[in-house]
Every structure is written in C-alpha cells, then in structure tokens.
Amino acid sequence: MFSSLYAMVRPKDFVLTGIPRSGTSLLSSLLCELEDCFCFNEIQYDVVTLPVFFTRMRKKLLAGEPVPNRVDEEGKLTTDTQRKGFSVQEIKAPSKSKGLVLGSNANIPYLNQMDSMLGYKYKVLAMVRNPVYTLASWASEKAGRIPENQVMADDLNPRWEKIEFCSQDKVERQAQLWEHYANLIWSVRHRVKIVRYERLTENQNDTLEEITNYLGVSSPRNLKRLSSYNLSSRYANLQKIEHAVEHYCRSKGNFGY
C-alpha cells in the first residue's frame, strides 16, 4: 500500500506547516492566488493519505470543479482560522494551469508527522514567529479555545501528553511548547524551507519570490500589501511572556529572535 502511495507523490507538491499562529493560513491564501498553485488550509490532516487527496483534488481543480477550503464570512480564503465567521466550504478556484502544484497546510498535526512528510519527499515550508508574539497571540481572546491554551494538568490537550513540562505556570508551559516545536523545525532545517513571519510581512516581495522559487511555481504579481500583527499595543501580559520566553525559548536565536 505505502509503495503505491509513494508512487503517487508529485515532486513539486508541498506541505505547509509551522508553530500555530505563525502565519501559515496567511501564506496558504497567498499561494492560492497563483495560476499554477493551490493550497488547502487545514482540510487534510493525515500525511499518509496526502497522495490520494492531492490526486483527487488535482482532477477537480483542473476540471473547474469546486473543492473544499476554509473561507471567511465574506467567502474569501481565510488568513486567520481563529477569526469569527470562518468555515469550510466548497469553492470554485480561478482557472489553474496543467502544471498545477498542490499544497496542504496544517500546523501541529503535520509537525508531529514530520518523518512521514520527509519520507514522501514532499517539499516542506515551516513557519515560525517571534515567540513573544506567538504566545501573546495564543492568549488573545479570539484564540482562547485553541489547544495551545490547554497545557495545564487539569485540561491538558492530548496533543501534549508526550511533552515533559517542567513548570506549573501556564505561560511558562506555553513557552516550553514553542521551544519543543522550534527545536523540531530546526533539527530538519537542511531539509525544509523555514519562513519567518516577520520577513514575510516586512519584506513581502523578496520572501514570496524565494518561496515560489523553492516550490517551482510562478512568482506573484500585484498582491495586497501585508500588515504585521507584531504590535505590543495588540496584546496584554507581554512582560510575563517576555520573561518566560527568555527563560525557556533557548532556540529563538537560531531563527534570529
């Protein structure tokens, strides 16, 4: 079975992943605007069956048929899955070229299957964001129910059962969570393309050109200017977060933070 699935993998198809709240949905929506690319945002979580999923979706897209993706309240591809009003809907994408490259985005589910992704030889984009603003975003009101907020013993999300936390403080545990997955991404840095949220939002054109060159797809034209949400005025409790990050996020310097 696995050999037949492996044979279905197309060299240019890719997976997009990263630490939650690092901009993967934003990048996914940008890549969908390209004529020769389309990225599914948190639709397919199982890496093993990705080849079958991509084969089925490629046929539908090239035939002009609708495919599922996450959209906002206006029916546009969402750039934030914590925003109110988003849903999964069948949408009809703009016409795509026969050389269509497909991607699939998921954060923790894909990070936890990194070996499988690399084993299939998918190209991998892995996003990171300054841990201070990542943790601040986890704690924001709109993100209150995400698994990254369920880190204490009395509400521990099953995703974190294998992580050995060494603190009873919630923010410190979240800092350890960021560090765990940052270390995972850094450990495979020679086999993936690491994308920093800050560079994507602050140096949009050059960063997108690097990404499209890596994927082997056309470069974007006339995209809407991106805004960075790394603003202290948007978040509360930054002093405590900064202290936890300084103590527990030891690998942040590897990414330039």
Q: What is the pLDDT of residues 158-194, one digit of tens each?
A: 999 989 999 999 999 999 999 999 999 999 999 999 9
Dist. CA 29–CA 70, nearest whole Å: 9
Query: Distance between the two ends of the chain, CA-based, in angstroms?
Result: 43
Range of 60's domain? 2-255
The count of domains in the chain is 1
CB 245 within 8 A of CB 131: yes
Contacts of 15 (CB under 8 A, 6+ apart): 47, 50, 103, 104, 105, 106, 110, 117, 122, 123, 124, 125
How many Cα atoms occupy the beta-carbon half-sphere of 168 within 13 Å? 1
Q: What is the pLDDT of residues 63-119, one digit of tens each?
A: 999 999 999 888 888 888 877 767 899 999 888 888 999 999 999 999 999 998 898
User: Residue 87 is part of a domain; what is its CATH number?
Assistant: 3.40.50
- 92 three-class SS: coil
Dist. CA 68–CA 103, nearest whole Å: 13
CB 208 within 8 A of CB 34: no
Q: What is the pLDDT of residues 46-61, one digit of tens each?
A: 999 999 999 999 999 9
CB 171 within 8 A of CB 240: yes
User: The pTM is what?
Assistant: 0.94
Dist. CA 64–CA 82, nearest whole Å: 29
Q: Is the pLDDT of residue 226 over 90?
A: no
